[in-house]
């Protein structure tokens, strides 16, 4: 495996008395899926928020290609190749599915300051955006306004928009949550094809998906990484069984 692209060192985030991130070390390499699992409230989304720059950590460092990006804003980090899909879909709700993807494409092409290009002049952007929708469950839903989409469709759109930025790393916060069985299966297939091009940080409660996809797994409980290893190591870890997997026997 190649050297890590993203490195998180000794990260701490406190909300009042609660330590939501407790000296977390984490890394992610090109071409791997590193799953982050843990019970509700463990601090998974909080960790992603800090990596993306939406929240500032209290202690520790975040390195991208060896560069300390702790002081960079969220937009700067996005431009450096960090793309995220939100746990609760956060999209442009007044415009269509295709418009949402097109915005991501135009930003990647730095086409954000042109004040007089017509829709016809933006046709290349729309065409490229169509390309990202092709082959997904949203291929024929491009004209639908986002506020008319189902929850599952919005989750899928989150991923398409993130991909349309052609990022180096994808940070996915529970991409399967709220998807139907067949949608989940499609998502698993999509993610397994995506791993070749991107490093993926995958936060997910769906254990089938995690065990299916992950190269490595880290287990987060009360803000601390309590275990880290391959799928087989994590499955066999008694502490993980007790602290996390055991709770989920359904």
Partner 1 sequence: MDRSNALKTLAAVIGLLALVAVPIIADAAGSTAWISMATRILIYGMAAASLNFALGYGGLVSFGHAAFFGLGGYVVGILYQTYADETLLFGFIPGTNQLLVTLPATILVTGIAAAAIGALSLRTGGVQFIMITLAFAQMLFFFFSGLSAYGGEDGLIIRRTNELFGLNMRDRATLYWVTLAITALFFVIYRRLTMSSFGTIVSGLRQNERRMAALGIEAYRYRLIAFILSGIGTGIAGAMLANVMRFTSPDLLAWHTSGQLMIMVILGGVGTVTGPFLGAAVLLILEDVLNAWTENWPLILGLVLLVVVLQARGGLMAIVNLVRGNRS
| Contacted entry of ligand ATP, Mg ion, partner 1, none for residue 40, CB cut-off 5 to 8 Å set by kind | ligand ATP
Residues 13-42 that bind ligand ATP (CB under 6 A): 15, 18, 20, 38, 40-42
The verdict on 46 binding ligand ATP (CB under 6 A) reads: yes
Choice from 51, 98, 104, 169 touching partner 1 (CB under 8 A): 104
CA distance 44 to 204: 9
Choice from 5, 8, 36, 78 touching partner 1 (CB under 8 A): 78
The verdict on 159 binding partner 1 (CB under 8 A) reads: no
The verdict on 50 binding ligand ATP (CB under 6 A) reads: no
**Among the residues of 57-198, which ranges form H helices?**
74-79, 97-108, 123-133, 151-164, 181-194
**Among 77-85, 135-143, 172-180, 193-201, the segment contacting partner 1 (CB under 8 A):** 77-85
Residues 71-130 that bind ligand ATP (CB under 6 A): 87
Give 48 or 219: the residue with its C-beta nearer to partner 1: 48
Residues 82-101 that bind Mg ion (CB under 5 A): 87
CA distance 152 to 93: 15
CA distance 130 to 242: 46
The verdict on 218 binding ligand ATP (CB under 6 A) reads: no
CA distance 175 to 125: 26
The verdict on 30 binding partner 1 (CB under 8 A) reads: no
Minimum gap (Å) between residue 194 Cβ and partner 1? 18
| Contacted entry of partner 1, Mg ion, ligand ATP, none for residue 20, CB cut-off 5 to 8 Å set by kind | ligand ATP
Question: Cα dist. 72→56, 204, 226, 238 in Å?
Answer: 10, 27, 29, 39
Contact 206, 184 (CB under 8 A): yes
Contact 57, 83 (CB under 8 A): no
SS3 label, residue 89: coil
Token readout for 212 is: 């299916």
CB atoms within 10 A of CB 221: 19
Residues 39-68 that bind Mg ion (CB under 5 A): 44-45
CA distance 183 to 88: 17
Which residues in this chain contact partner 1 in the complex, by CB under 8 A? 52, 54, 73-76, 78-79, 83-84, 86, 90-95, 99, 102-104, 106-108, 111-119, 122, 125, 161, 165
Which residues in this chain contact ligand ATP in the complex, by CB under 6 A? 15, 18, 20, 38, 40-46, 87
């Amino acid at each position: 495996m190649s050297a890590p692209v993203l490195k998180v060192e000794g990260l701490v985030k406190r909300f009042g008395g609660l330590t939501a991130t407790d000296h977390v070390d984490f890394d992610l390499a090109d071409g791997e899926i590193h799953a982050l699992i843990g019970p509700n409230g463990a601090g998974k989304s909080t960790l992603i928020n800090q990596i993306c720059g939406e929240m500032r950590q209290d202690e520790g460092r975040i390195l991208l290609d060896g560069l300390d990006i702790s002081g960079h804003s969220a937009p700067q980090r996005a431009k450096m190749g960090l793309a995220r899909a939100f746990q609760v879909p956060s999209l442009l709700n007044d415009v269509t599915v295709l418009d949402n993807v097109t915005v991501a494409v135009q930003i990647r092409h730095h086409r954000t300051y042109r004040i007089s290009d017509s829709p016809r002049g933006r046709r290349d952007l729309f065409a490229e955006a169509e390309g990202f929708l092709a082959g997904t469950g949203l291929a024929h839903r491009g004209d639908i306004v986002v506020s008319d989409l189902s929850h599952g469709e919005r989750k899928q759109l989150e991923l398409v928009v993130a991909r349309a930025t052609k990022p180096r790393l994808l940070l996915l916060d529970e991409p399967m949550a709220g998807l139907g069985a067949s949608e989940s299966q499609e998502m698993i297939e999509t993610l397994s094809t995506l791993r070749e091009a991107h490093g993926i940080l995958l936060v997910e409660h769906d254990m089938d998906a995690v065990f299916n996809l992950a190269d490595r797994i880290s287990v987060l409980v009360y803000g601390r990484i309590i275990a880290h290893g391959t799928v087989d190591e994590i499955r066999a870890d008694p502490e993980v069984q007790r602290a996390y997997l055991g709770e989920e026997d359904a």
